[in-house]
Amino acid sequence: MSRYRRRGDRGILYIAVAILIAAALSALLVPVFSPYTPTEQNLELRFAPPGSEGHLLGTDEFGRDVATRLAWGAWAAAQTAGGGVLLAALIGVPLGVAAGLERRVLDPVIALVVDAALSFPGVLLAVAIIAVLGSGAVQVSIALGIMFAPLFARTVRAETLSVSQEGYVEISRGLGTRTLRRICMHIVPNVLPNVLVIATSSFAICITIEAALSFLGLGSAPPQPTWGLMLRDARNYLSVAPHLAILPGVVLGLCVFALNTVGDALSEYLDSGHPDTSNT
């Protein structure tokens, strides 16, 4: 893989980072400074177009401020998707390390579970989990966690395997270092960068799945402001107020694009000479 990025790629990376910073800032600041709450209705001012006075991005079918709802939606997306990724890492990383170290019993069992879980189409698995747990934002986080845990487990297992066969780890084992200490000293620091890369890219996928599940009515319930719900409501008003569908769609698309770009760059950076990882 090329060690040097082309200039165009770098430009795109800057744009992506800018988008993420903008999203993060609006998610943090708009809820504090907006004169509106995300569920506050103004039935006198329904379907105001973007650029209306007092409503920069217009209002929706209940006269709620779209800009405020989009910002709160970013919060909701970050919470639900972030919770999912965190849970996935908490389940997946220990499983992966265990499978990588204990090759006789644990590895085949964990591999079987992981392969079985990965063979399910993603959203279908999430829908099945929600069918059991019931719908709601927390349930979506749990579903996302279960969905993405195998991905973490598989990557971490491979990394653990290669690291534990490195000379210095072998030596450390020969010297009788205790397993737990060995994991903390050698395995975890080596595995962490890869976990970060997977976390970034799966965060992007989690956001789209969260939106998809909300759109299907399986995620947060109205009047919660989430991008998926905003898109769901907007589809009935495509002819009268297209901005209701376009705005959350564009915001969702931009965020996913930005996260993926940053994730790719991160993985490339780590692959191309990060001191802790070998050049594989």
Partner 1 sequence: MKRLLLILLITTVGISQLLAFGQSERDDESLRLAMSGNPDTLDPQATPGTLTFQVTRSIYDTLVEPDVDGEIVPALAASWEADDDATVWTFHLREGVRFHHGADLSADDVVATFERMLDEEFASPNADELGPIENIQAIDDHTVRITLGEPYAPLLASLASSWSAILPADLVEEEHDFGAVPVGTGPFRFREWVQDSRIVLDRHDGYWMDGAPQIGGVVFFIIEEPSVQLQGLLTGDFDVIDTVQPESLDRVREHPETRLDETLSSLAMVLSMNTRREPLDSVDVRRAITHAVNKEQVLDIAYGGGEVGGTFMDTGDVYHRDFSDRYPYDPDAARELLAGADADVGRTLTIAVPQNYEAHVNAGQLYQQMLEDVGLDVELKLVEWSTWLSDVYGDGDFDLTVIGHTGKLDPEGRLGDLTSERFYTGWQNAEFNELVRAARRTADVEERQELYAEALEILAEEVPMVFTGTNYRYIGLRRHVRDFHMDGKLDTYDFRRVHFLNE
Q: Using CB under 8 A as the criterion, which residues of the chain lie in contact with partner 1 when the complex forms? A: 39-41, 43, 46, 61-62, 135, 217, 221-223, 235-240
Total residues found in the chain within this entry: 280
Q: Considering the complex, what minimum distance in angstroms separates the CB of residue 134 from partner 1? A: 10
Q: Which is nearer to partner 1, 119 or 239 (CB)?
A: 239
Closest Cα partner for 220 from 231, 235, 236? 231
Cβ neighbors of 147 (< 8 A, separation 6 or more) are 84, 88, 117, 122, 125, 126, 129, 209
Q: Considering the complex, what minimum distance in angstroms separates the CB of residue 39 from partner 1? A: 8
Q: Which is nearer to partner 1, 37 or 260 (CB)?
A: 37
How far, in whole angstroms, is CA 51 from its chain's centroid? 31
Q: Considering the complex, what minimum distance in angstroms separates the CB of residue 133 from partner 1? A: 14
In Å, how far are 38, 100, 109, 249 from 193, measured between CA atoms? Answer: 37, 17, 26, 31
In Å, how far are 23, 59, 95, 269, 272 from 279, measured between CA atoms? Answer: 34, 52, 25, 11, 7
Q: Which is nearer to partner 1, 103 or 235 (CB)?
A: 235
C-beta separation of 93 from 176 below 8 A: no
Q: Considering the complex, what minimum distance in angstroms separates the CB of residue 149 from partner 1? A: 28
CA dist 160 and 256 (Å) reads 29
Q: Which is nearer to partner 1, 51 or 217 (CB)?
A: 217
Q: Which is nearer to partner 1, 189 or 242 (CB)?
A: 242
Q: Which is nearer to partner 1, 68 or 201 (CB)?
A: 68
- Residue 131: CB atoms within 10 A of its CB come to 12
Q: Considering the complex, what minimum distance in angstroms separates the CB of residue 244 from partner 1? A: 11
Q: Considering the complex, what minimum distance in angstroms separates the CB of residue 129 from partner 1? A: 16
Task: Report whether the peptide linkage leading into residue 223 is cis, meaning its omega lies within 30 degrees of zero.
Answer: yes
